[in-house]
């Protein structure tokens, strides 16, 4: 910057003002300085800026590379951050790198706030982070902590899905689980509650899973080895629903003729014509924007109380759910059954 100032024949301070767009410098000076900067191909050194103003204007995002839902969120968060004048730094949450390492790395790079997409599973770590910077969790708030969070009303979504299935006449509705995550636990208990509400306590059945396509496929294989298929499957997310769907289709099971399937998330894959999965939609776009908004509100001191934003899910009815199969004697009629497709 010294060079630029020299070339423009002004002081470094003036140049600094110009680059930051502060009022003060005369139009003439501005012109000269920008000119000089262009000639020298000057780029402000952001590290020096950070050091001097003790602000980085950078927010860290912890995500799981390869997770399609996270990808959607990131695509929403980037522009939102830019709107607020913040820059984003991504950190990956991968097996070989524990949560602590990942978050510390982000903080070392002077992130002023953290947005956690893949939830931190250690409450102690979260508390520790929270003591240092604003943190926003996208997803259900871990129990025992008081981070800000942006989440979907999961219970409501599950309830809608179960209502839909029951409305179609299904009774034996099994749940493919999502594993040890908080969000999965919520889905699981909401499933139980909804079944109970419909008087289907005795039909409750949970098959282990971990949100992956593989686990959905495994669950379906399990079901195929049993004498009777259930009426319907409610998966913890779209990926596992798709895994199950693919396995069933290959086994010549008619979906939704024999079994209905509902997912959760509205993964882009679910919209493909050949998948066309009925699912509970989370508004990733909006969640990303809101997460950013909450983080920035904190940073600018506009908010002190805990924020917990809950978005309403939408049941998207596509082609994997349909009427419960009719008893054998009605088979002829059955073939004329109308399927709802959106």
Nearest distance from C-beta of residue 200 to a second copy, angstroms: 29
Nearest distance from C-beta of residue 110 to a second copy, angstroms: 5
Closest CA to 285 of 60, 80, 134: 80
Q: Measured between alpha carbons, how far is 173 from 165 in angstroms, rounded to an integer?
A: 8
**Shorter beta-carbon distance to a second copy: residue 108 or 202:** 108
Most distant pair of Cα atoms in the chain: their distance = 95
Closest CA to 90 of 121, 57, 63: 63
Nearest distance from C-beta of residue 242 to a second copy, angstroms: 9
Could you tell which of DNA, a second copy, none binds residue 12, using a CB distance below 5 to 8 A set by kind?
Answer: DNA
Could you tell which of DNA, a second copy, none binds residue 38, using a CB distance below 5 to 8 A set by kind?
Answer: none
Q: Measured between alpha carbons, how far is 229 from 171 in angstroms, rounded to an integer?
A: 12
Assign 185 to helix, strand or coil: helix
Helix (H) or strand (E) segment spanning residue 40? helix 27-40
Could you tell which of DNA, a second copy, none binds residue 87, using a CB distance below 5 to 8 A set by kind?
Answer: a second copy
Could you tell which of DNA, a second copy, none binds residue 20, using a CB distance below 5 to 8 A set by kind?
Answer: DNA
The residues that touch DNA, with contacts defined as CB under 7 A, are 1-2, 9-14, 16-17, 19-20, 23-26, 28-29, 44-45, 48-49, 51-54
Could you tell which of DNA, a second copy, none binds residue 233, using a CB distance below 5 to 8 A set by kind?
Answer: none
Could you tell which of DNA, a second copy, none binds residue 329, using a CB distance below 5 to 8 A set by kind?
Answer: none
Closest CA to 236 of 266, 268, 209: 209
E strand residue ranges, the chain: 58-63, 87-92, 113-116, 135-138, 148-152, 173-176, 205-207, 232-235, 260-265, 278-281, 308-311, 314-316
Nearest distance from C-beta of residue 73 to DNA, angstroms: 31
**Shorter beta-carbon distance to DNA: residue 38 or 48:** 48
**Shorter beta-carbon distance to DNA: residue 5 or 162:** 5
Phi, psi of 116 (to 5 degrees): -105, 115
Q: Measured between alpha carbons, how far is 225 from 204 in angstroms, rounded to an integer?
A: 19
Nearest distance from C-beta of residue 177 to DNA, angstroms: 46
The residues that touch a second copy, with contacts defined as CB under 8 A, are 43, 45-48, 50-51, 56, 58, 63-68, 70-72, 74-75, 78-79, 87-92, 94-97, 105, 108-110, 213-214, 217, 221, 243, 246-247, 249-250, 269, 272-275
Q: Measured between alpha carbons, how far is 146 from 283 in angstroms, rounded to an integer?
A: 23
Closest CA to 11 of 33, 44, 34, 35: 33
Nearest distance from C-beta of residue 35 to DNA, angstroms: 14
**Shorter beta-carbon distance to DNA: residue 26 or 341:** 26
Nearest distance from C-beta of residue 84 to DNA, angstroms: 18
Could you tell which of a second copy, DNA, none binds residue 194, using a CB distance below 5 to 8 A set by kind?
Answer: none
């Amino acid at each position: 910057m010294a060079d630029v100032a020299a070339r423009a024949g002004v002081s470094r301070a003036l140049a600094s003002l110009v680059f930051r767009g502060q009022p003060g410098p005369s139009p003439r000076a501005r012109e000269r300085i920008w000119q000089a900067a262009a000639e020298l191909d000057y780029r402000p050194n952001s590290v020096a800026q950070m050091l001097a103003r003790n602000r980085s204007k950078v927010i860290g995002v912890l995500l799981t590379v390869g997770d399609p839902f996270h990808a959607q969120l990131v695509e929403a968060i980037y522009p939102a951050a830019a709107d607020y004048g913040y820059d984003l730094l991504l950190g990956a949450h991968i097996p070989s790198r524990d949560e602590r390492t990942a978050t510390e790395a982000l903080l070392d790079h002077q992130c002023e706030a953290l947005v956690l997409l893949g939830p931190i599973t250690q409450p102690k770590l979260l508390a520790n982070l929270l003591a240092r910077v604003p943190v926003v969790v996208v997803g259900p708030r871990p129990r025992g902590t008081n981070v800000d969070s942006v989440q979907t009303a999961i219970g409501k979504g599950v309830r809608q899905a179960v209502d839909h299935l029951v409305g179609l006449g299904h009774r034996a509705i099994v749940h493919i689980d999502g594993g040890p995550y908080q969000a999965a636990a919520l889905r699981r208990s909401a499933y139980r509650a909804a079944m109970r509400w419909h008087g289907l306590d005795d039909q409750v059945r949970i098959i282990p899973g971990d949100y992956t396509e593989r686990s959905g496929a495994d669950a379906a294989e399990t079901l195929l080895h049993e004498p009777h298929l259930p009426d319907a499957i409610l998966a913890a997310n779209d990926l596992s629903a798709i895994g199950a769907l693919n396995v069933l289709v290959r086994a010549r099971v008619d979906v939704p003729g024999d079994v209905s399937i509902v997912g959760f998330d509205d993964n882009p894959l679910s919209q493909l014509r050949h998948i066309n999965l009925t699912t509970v939609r989370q508004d990733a776009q909006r969640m990303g924007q809101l997460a950013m908004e909450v983080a920035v509100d904190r940073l600018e001191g506009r908010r002190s109380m805990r924020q917990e934003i809950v978005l309403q899910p939408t049941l998207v009815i596509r082609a994997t759910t349909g009427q419960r199969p009719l008893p054998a004697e009605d088979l002829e009629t059955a073939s004329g059954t109308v399927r709802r497709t959106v």
